[in-house]
A and B are shown apart, each in its own frame.
Chain A
Amino acid sequence: MSIPKHPRFAMRGIRKTFGATIALDNVDFAVSAGKIHALIGENGAGKSTLMKVLSGALQPDAGEMTVDGSPFAPANPLQARQQGVAMIYQELSLAPHLTVAENVLLGMEITRRGLLQKSDMHALVQNALTELDHADIDPHVRVSSLTIAERQIVEIARALSVQCRVLVLDEPTSSLTRADVNRLFRVIQRLKARNLAIVYISHFLEEIKEIADRFTVLRDGKKAGSGLVAQTPISDIVHLMVGRKIDDFFPRSNRTPGEPLLNLKDLAGDPVPHSASLVLHRGEVLGIGGLIGAGRTELLRAIFGLDPICKGNITFAHNTGRATPAQRLAQGMGLLSEDRKDEGLAQSMSLADNLTLSRLPRGIISPKKLRASARQWISRLDIRTSGPAQFIADLSGGNQQKVALARLLHHDVDCLLLDEPTRGIDIASKADIYHLIDQLATQGKAILLVSSYLPELLGICDRIAVMYRGRLGPARPVDKCSEHSLMLEATGQEAAL
């Protein structure tokens, strides 16, 4: 096999500014045919600008790009596609009302005398899907009836139908279950074998370890480092991303659980959970694992009184039976929503208003006092903001999450129900939140943590229970759990371990 003279795709000295901000500063990046190159960086590091340059949506101020050694300067995404560079975006761009075949061949329909040749189109698309190991997707069905994972495959099939040489995948696994991730990875390996150059963008470092050959880290618009994935430990990659060393990313102080605070017995909601029993103690972090849709969020909502309880017993701090959210808050329980934007925070209100919302004083409110208590939490949780009057929508995801957490702390609850507390936030804020959870548990608070991120569950919990199709399994001490055992339980393959 001869070594090609040029990498399949290369960019050199790429620079892009928006006004006074430098989004990309002298970035080099190359990927060879048959290789998978991971592009890593926090939100705001310049990843999305780089991708827009790559796809032709933005033109760089300086620098050059080549595909197989010939210059590549697309004026728009269509040109980029025609020259063999295709993108699969996080938000999939399929037309849900058209069929699979119509989507794959959109703009390239096969016609004879102006009439669509449907059987030819279906055969062609069926072949393409079989080649992607997804012969089970029917080209005749509407895209709206497919799962997210299947839609992704359809997008990839569409990219391949235009002879793509470079395929860019932007956070392809962020909404997939683990089983679908495995299947997607097999597809990516096939594409690799077909000599495509693949750019893989993700901030799940474990996945990058699993799939990529090389990595490049972007930080503040600059290339912070690159190397071979196999030779670089994850902690070094994290170091490059954050720019500072994070010691014990997952802290877990020595603590002894205290008295039981929350007791569930065969709790059932409508339609999920079917049955959940657990005992949560003071000074304990109890994790709940499982797949998306297993009923974990619904369990937390039922406990907190946001969703109805149909059957079973619940006791919280000597209060037996169901309660409204207002009563739960008064009893000392708080819920952190998984959905910051649509539930967790009021985006059009100020930081101070959000933080104090559940515990406003009676009588005349002094805005000055509200701002003062907000300021306290801003400094205690290291929230990056221009001040208590700043609107929530203007904060980064990580800082928004800290405000949502600060609300529970300001309310001074004893029991925190945390639903995916680190989803979609930057790695430095994640580390802060892990430390905070550890600190709270050490202070004697009880924490029930729902997470889909296994390293997080294993890293900070004392015990872990797994939910599968609405049924909560037994809570086991964390040293009796592994990613493997949790995954088996989450997929129902080892319900009785």
Chain B
Amino acid sequence: MNHLSRFAPLLGLFAVYGLFAILGPDSFSSGRNLETIARQTAIVGTAALGMTLVIIAGGIDLSVGSIIALTTVTIAASLQAGLSPLTAALIGILTGALCGFVNGLIITRFRVVPFIVTLGTLLLLRGIAKGLAGEQKIDAPLTYLIDLLAALPRGAWWIFPPGVWLLIILALLTGGFLAYTRPGKHIVAIGSNENTARLCGIRVEATKLLVYALAGTSAGIAGLLQFSRLTVGDPTVAVGLELDVIAAVVIGGGSLSGGEGSVLGSVVGALIMTVIRSGCSQMGLPNWVQEIVTGIIIVVAVAVDRLRHR
């Protein structure tokens, strides 16, 4: 029973993939398309790692899309200023981490609910991104950063582009962090029952601060991948992306009341959404059909989860 519910999102992924493999054109199940699906999942998947921690801790982060946009802007601006690609990438990730830290600081110091705080920073950070960029795209010199998510040259042995490998490694690290370290267990405990966590001497505020800072960092890394795809800094990119990220976590078994969720599930959730998008577009179905199907999947996934918990 327990094992079944853990693997339910994975079964869902196989079911959706199998459905399109049968109904869709042959090109859908080609290796090339699999790689494309992986590349298209990388941004949402990476941001979903941090969101998984936030949701397990019983919180929410609506500012992810804005953090991603701001990150693309700071990376492009750094490159334009002549910094090395590595420095620019680190500055981008740090931007995300800083944003997340500020979210966490406001939430823990002023005891405002995360929904409101991050709704505020969603607007605030988007505004900062636009202001920094002068309300236009920032062109950056071409560097290896734009190859992170580029399609592989034919016959390459490394299967996926580096960005996808980055997601896989980070997912393993985050999963291990949750299951095998003290702060990881503390995060689950805070989401499961904050009072119990306090009773057990867990430093609840410090742990929450860490969670939001990590969420910001993972949004920063997602922003790096976003920049890689765009090749420019764009303050208007990723509007509403936070909803995709939250949907991925929820499809993967995360509970918005906290205490439940899994890193593997969230990545699978992100994959399910990409598969639907890819399958629908290859079958020539219009955009609105994809939206309806994704919406149904989210509601069904959560409803099935609730039924199982009775």
- Residues in chain A within 8 A of chain B (CB atoms): 306, 324-330, 335, 337, 339, 342-349, 353-354, 357-358, 360-367, 389, 407
B153 on the A face (CB < 8 A): no
B198 touches A325 (CB 8 A): yes
Contact of A326 among B179, B181, B195, B203 (CB under 8 A): B203
Of A348, A358, A361, A366, most buried by chain B (CB within 10 Å of CB) is A348
Query: For chain B residues 1-55, which have a beta carbon within 8 Å of chain A?
Result: 2
A329 touches B181 (CB 8 A): no
Query: With a CB–CB cut-off of 8 A, which chain B residues contact A365?
Result: 179-182, 185
Least CB separation from A349: chain B residue: B192
Query: For chain B residues 155-212, which have a beta carbon within 8 Å of chain A?
Result: 179-182, 185-186, 188-189, 192-193, 195-203
Please judge, given known A-B contacts A325-B201, A329-B201, whether A344 and B196 are in contact too, CB under 8 Å.
Answer: yes
B182 touches A362 (CB 8 A): yes
B259 on the A face (CB < 8 A): yes
Query: With a CB–CB cut-off of 8 A, which chain B residues contact A363?
Result: 181
A324 touches B201 (CB 8 A): yes
B182 touches A346 (CB 8 A): no
Q: In the assembled complex, how far is the CB of residue B205 from the closest CB belonging to chain A, in whole angstroms?
A: 11
Known: A327-B201, A348-B193, A353-B188. 17 other contacts (CB 8 A): A306-B198, A324-B201, A325-B199, A339-B195, A342-B193, A343-B199, A348-B260, A349-B259, A358-B202, A360-B182, A361-B182, A362-B182, A365-B180, A367-B179, A367-B180, A389-B2, A407-B200
Contact of A306 among B185, B186, B192, B199 (CB under 8 A): B199
What CA separation (Å) do A360 and B202 show in the bound complex? 10
Q: What is the interface size of chain B, counting residues whose CB is below 8 A from a CB of the partner? A: 22
Please judge, given known A-B contacts A326-B201, A365-B180, A367-B179, whether A345 and B193 are in contact too, CB under 8 Å.
Answer: yes
A329 touches B195 (CB 8 A): no
What CA separation (Å) do A337 and B193 show in the bound complex? 13
- Residues in chain B within 8 A of chain A (CB atoms): 2, 179-182, 185-186, 188-189, 192-193, 195-203, 259-260
What CA separation (Å) do A492 and B140 show in the bound complex? 79
Please judge, given known A-B contacts A325-B201, A328-B201, A407-B200, whether A353 and B180 are in contact too, CB under 8 Å.
Answer: no
Q: In the assembled complex, how far is the CB of residue B201 from the closest CB belonging to chain A, in whole angstroms?
A: 4
What CA separation (Å) do A357 and B183 show in the bound complex? 11
A348 touches B182 (CB 8 A): no
Query: With a CB–CB cut-off of 8 A, which chain A residues contact B192?
Result: 346-349
B182 touches A353 (CB 8 A): no
What CA separation (Å) do A346 and B186 show in the bound complex? 11
Please judge, given known A-B contacts A347-B193, A361-B182, whether A337 and B260 are in contact too, CB under 8 Å.
Answer: no
Least CB separation from B188: chain A residue: A349
Query: With a CB–CB cut-off of 8 A, which chain A residues contact B259?
Result: 346, 348-349
Please judge, given known A-B contacts A306-B198, A306-B199, A325-B199, whether A357 and B185 are in contact too, CB under 8 Å.
Answer: yes
Query: With a CB–CB cut-off of 8 A, which chain A residues contact B200?
Result: 325, 329, 357-358, 407
Least CB separation from A326: chain B residue: B201
Q: In the assembled complex, how far is the CB of residue B98 from the closest CB belonging to chain A, in whole angstroms?
A: 27
B180 touches A364 (CB 8 A): yes
Query: With a CB–CB cut-off of 8 A, which chain B residues contact A347?
Result: 192-193
Query: With a CB–CB cut-off of 8 A, which chain B residues contact A339?
Result: 195
B182 touches A345 (CB 8 A): no
B196 touches A345 (CB 8 A): yes
A364 touches B201 (CB 8 A): no
Query: With a CB–CB cut-off of 8 A, which chain A residues contact B179?
Result: 365, 367
Query: With a CB–CB cut-off of 8 A, which chain B residues contact A337?
Result: 195, 199
Q: In the assembled complex, how far is the CB of residue A360 from the closest CB belonging to chain B, in whole angstroms?
A: 4
Please judge, given known A-B contacts A365-B185, A367-B179, A367-B180, whether A346 and B201 are in contact too, CB under 8 Å.
Answer: no
In the A-B complex, the 4 residue pairs with the smallest Cβ-Cβ separation, listed nearest first, are A326-B201, A346-B192, A358-B200, A343-B195
Please judge, given known A-B contacts A348-B259, A348-B260, whether A360 and B201 are in contact too, CB under 8 Å.
Answer: no
Contact of B196 among A324, A343, A361, A367 (CB under 8 A): A343
Least CB separation from B259: chain A residue: A348
What CA separation (Å) do A362 and B181 show in the bound complex? 7
What CA separation (Å) do A332 and B189 show in the bound complex? 21
Q: In the assembled complex, how far is the CB of residue A363 from the closest CB belonging to chain B, in whole angstroms?
A: 8
Please judge, given known A-B contacts A349-B192, A360-B182, A365-B185, whether A335 and B202 are in contact too, CB under 8 Å.
Answer: no
Least CB separation from A305: chain B residue: B201
Query: With a CB–CB cut-off of 8 A, which chain B residues contact A358?
Result: 199-202
A364 touches B181 (CB 8 A): yes
Q: In the assembled complex, how far is the CB of residue A160 from the closest CB belonging to chain B, in whole angstroms?
A: 38
Query: With a CB–CB cut-off of 8 A, which chain A residues contact B203?
Result: 324, 326
